[in-house]
A and B are shown apart, each in its own frame.
Chain A
């Protein structure tokens, strides 16, 4: 056979290399697509920020209206020494997620504390942990006035006491 007619050795390996490169690129592309497929674009979950009426609608203490829908307690207090607002009346938004392993504590008004049913962590009304395995206080969320005067809670921004963030301007809404 005339070697001019068949593929050369070098050409053969060149083609083989290109074929493998295309094949592997395709496999990786498909693989990346499959992984991306697992992350939906649309979530049927409550939005992370919501309006909660005007502050005058809230009495002093813990309000549970937004607990089951948005996982937030709105607390109104006359003074909040932990965020450096001693003697300043205002409101803060507490996360309802236990800082131990993520269960939802119950507000026990008679004992004035949040108590987690999973492993027994207890938190004061301020969110400060004082019993059980929770290693840190409940988190607080950004709370400001919207343009229309309503309270706006924004869960995209969280404030952690142990990082000294409760003193931030928008972690507490003076009323």
Chain B
């Protein structure tokens, strides 16, 4: 028995790779099926599916950028404190007091690129007609992923706590005032009342829930931070797993028209 076979015969090796070594179609299928990451992929890919001219690789690039944002984002979290005393100074310090001060720029540019890439991915899915049955469910998963990408972008925008951030989020969150029924300036807001007491006010409506205050302040900064660093990435990761799994289950990447 050669060394190669000996290693492949150890309990450790066999507990990790639960299939044989030879490159038979069966083993290749088993390799994909018994690996949690690979099993999200199709066992076989159509030739057209890996053509750059067909997919533009925009879904793949979006996923790559999501990974980049996750890694750089976690690194930034080691230095950034989400309070109005520290946030702005921590962001400045990140550029000047820390090796690889470019980390923050990577995160910011990556975010812009990801928004761009996800739109282009959606465009190519539309242009190739890949939203049609049996892929209509995955299109809807994609719509939620698009929303999550935009929300990640929006919540991250506030975190530097500079003038641009505060006023951009002020303007953006003011739209929630006009939400029907649950925004205090929206249609039907006065319908929710007990006698004379209006239940939907600037201190109880949907915008207040988002900002934890009547204006963009300390509460909003903390809330956006938690949404940006924990809640949205978590939901997005889950949905991406579903998204990739469904590409496989819907018959792999669609063929050329």
Contact = CB atoms under 8 A, between A and B. Distances in A.
Interface of A: 35, 38-40, 43-45, 71, 101-103, 118
Contacts of A39: 204, 208-209
23 contacts: A35-B209, A38-B209, A38-B212, A39-B204, A39-B209, A40-B212, A43-B203, A43-B213, A43-B214, A45-B214, A45-B215, A45-B217, A71-B215, A101-B170, A101-B171, A101-B174, A102-B170, A102-B174, A103-B167, A103-B170, A103-B171, A118-B167, A118-B171
A163 B219 CA distance: 33
Interface string B165-182: 001001100100000000
A38 B213 CA distance: 11
A40 B171 contact: no
B218 interface: yes
The number of chain B residues touching the other chain, given as a range, is 10 to 19
Contacts of A38: 209, 212
Nearest to B204: A39
Contacts of B215: 45, 71
Contact of A40 (B167, B170, B174, B219): B219
A45 B213 contact: yes
A71 B214 CA distance: 12
Closest 7 pairs between A and B when the two form their complex, measured CB to CB: A101-B171, A102-B174, A102-B170, A38-B209, A103-B167, A101-B174, A118-B167
A59 B225 CA distance: 44
Name the residue among A39, A44, A45, A102 with the largest chain B CB count within 10 angstroms. A102
A103 B203 CA distance: 19
Contacts of A102: 170-171, 174
B157 to A, nearest CB: 15
Contacts of B217: 45
B186 to A, nearest CB: 15
Interface in B140-179: 167, 170-171, 174
B171 A44 contact: no
Contacts of A103: 167, 170-171
Contacts of A101: 170-171, 174
B84 to A, nearest CB: 11
Nearest to A35: B209
Nearest to B216: A102
Interface string B197-222: 00000011000110011110111000
Nearest to B163: A117
B178 to A, nearest CB: 11
Contacts of B212: 38, 40
Contacts of A118: 167, 171
B56 to A, nearest CB: 35
A44 B170 CA distance: 18
A118 B168 CA distance: 9
A104 to B, nearest CB: 9
Contacts of A35: 209
A61 to B, nearest CB: 26
Contacts of A71: 215
Contacts of B218: 44
Given A45-B215, A102-B171, 16 more contacts: A35-B209, A38-B212, A39-B204, A39-B208, A40-B212, A40-B219, A43-B213, A43-B214, A45-B213, A71-B215, A101-B170, A102-B170, A103-B170, A103-B171, A118-B167, A118-B171
Contacts of B167: 103, 118
A38 B215 CA distance: 15
